[in-house]
Chains A and B, each alone.
Chain A
Amino acid sequence: MVEITTPLTEEKARALRAGQKVAVTGVIFTGRDAAHKKLVEALDRGEELPVDLRDQIIYYVGPCPPKPGWAIGSAGPTTSYRMDSYAPRLIREAGLRGMIGKGQRGPEVVAAMKEDGAVYFLAMGGAGAVLAQRIKKAEVVAYPELGTEAIHRLEVVGFPLIVGLDAAGNDAYVEGRTRYARPAPA
């Protein structure tokens, strides 16, 4: 298990390898479909982003509302490919260093990650109740009108992840699947 404290510098990011288990402690930001659209529209207009993303990690999640006594409701990852058309610009233009989600990414994202030294982490899809226990504080910091899709600032302790794609382009999914594939029945 590799312990990581945010912010995630390029040096820390480039040292990670696909398949490694990681525990993240510190601040991460949430963002999914609607927030990504707004962030990239702000870049198009040449505006400053509402959150400084340099060396930060975005978690693709739309959490449930918190029950009394909880910092946040269920909070597992959403499928990442829907952010593929936006992610390269956040990496290249805003200095985004890490993404947390689930599922495969497209070649444009991988290319931007390799060039700039960014990492794609996997969180356990459908384990939102367990993951919520590792989130100690949550507050909306941008786009409150988006409800669950607003950008939240999360304080996490030992947030459990797997390196899905490292900055050299190695892919934990391809490595895992290749190991267990059998010929298909005729």
Chain B
Amino acid sequence: MREVKAADITAVLRDMCIQACCHLPPDVRRALQNARAAEESDIGREVLDILLENAAVADQNEIPICQDTGLAVVFCDLGQEVRVVGGDLREAIDEGVRQGYKDGYLRKSVVADPLTRKNTGDNTPAIVYFDVVPGDKVRLTIAPKGAGSENMSAVAMLTPADGARGVRKFVAGRVIEAGANPCPPLVVGVGIGSTMEGAALLAKKALLREVGQPNPEPHLAKLEREILEEINASGVGPQGLGGRTTALAVHVLTGPAHIASLPCAVNIQCHAARHVERVL
């Protein structure tokens, strides 16, 4: 068994929180630049210029791209030949988030109870998805998720007869209805198949893919293109002020489903599509 210290996981996650919130990944910057070059609307081009300037200001000063530094959504793929020593793994992750959000001057956006709504003050607990995988490494991915886009997300339990067309109508309809609320231009994560909660998790994982990389399956890549085309025909545009670029990309992930089911989830991500991955 390879030993990994809990303190090392904490230290790495602390840095990942700050990196993710202050430095827009290069794939998202490229997507914004490409959208700027193709955008027909004057106000749309102006919006995209400001968003690129904003990313540069955040990067140079190491301040958050957006004040909604989100819930800390963490994926932890634990190699089955790894033993975590010197502490509890879940607590090590929360401690990393606690330190990162304090040291990075990030916003604390977690309430302990959804109805009584008292802020926990340190942005914990993180939302953590554990998976056990072969090997002797720990793979950590953080994707801080703001609420403006998360609130526009949805799940539909479609029927097998609805098929790809039903998926396209549901996803595009939901994104267009959201309009300016989730801060377009968006990255749209789509999870198809599995169970109700499985589809939602697939949609969230779809957001981790490099922006604009198509699904390797040709029929799913085609579906991604068709959904993107329908969304961008809406005219909603950057910030909802009118234009071609309502979404930068649509990412589809699928999973096996019940013979009676076609679950479909759409997880909407704003243009601050933040994600950082590290392997220990």
Contact = CB atoms under 8 A, between A and B. Distances in A.
A125 B67 contact: no
A152 B253 CA distance: 43
Interface residues of B, number: 53
B162 interface: no
B229 A185 contact: yes
Contact of A129 (B40, B58, B237): B58
Contacts, number: 168
Contacts of B240: 102-104, 173, 176-177
Interface of A: 34, 61-67, 70, 73-76, 78-79, 81, 102-104, 122, 124-130, 132-133, 146-149, 162, 172-173, 175-185
Given A125-B148, A129-B65, 7 more contacts: A34-B117, A149-B119, A176-B243, A177-B179, A177-B234, A179-B235, A185-B230
B181 A79 contact: yes
Nearest to B185: A126
**Interface class of chain B by DSSP:** loop
A65 B108 CA distance: 9
B108 A147 contact: yes
Contacts of A61: 67
21 contacts: A61-B67, A64-B63, A64-B69, A73-B67, A103-B181, A122-B241, A124-B51, A124-B54, A125-B270, A126-B51, A129-B57, A129-B61, A129-B63, A129-B64, A130-B54, A173-B242, A177-B234, A177-B237, A179-B235, A179-B242, A180-B242
A73 B63 contact: yes
A182 B235 contact: yes
Given A102-B183, A128-B54, A64 B117 contact: no
A62 B67 contact: yes
Given A126-B271, A181-B233, A148 B107 contact: yes
A78 B148 contact: yes
Contacts of B151: 79
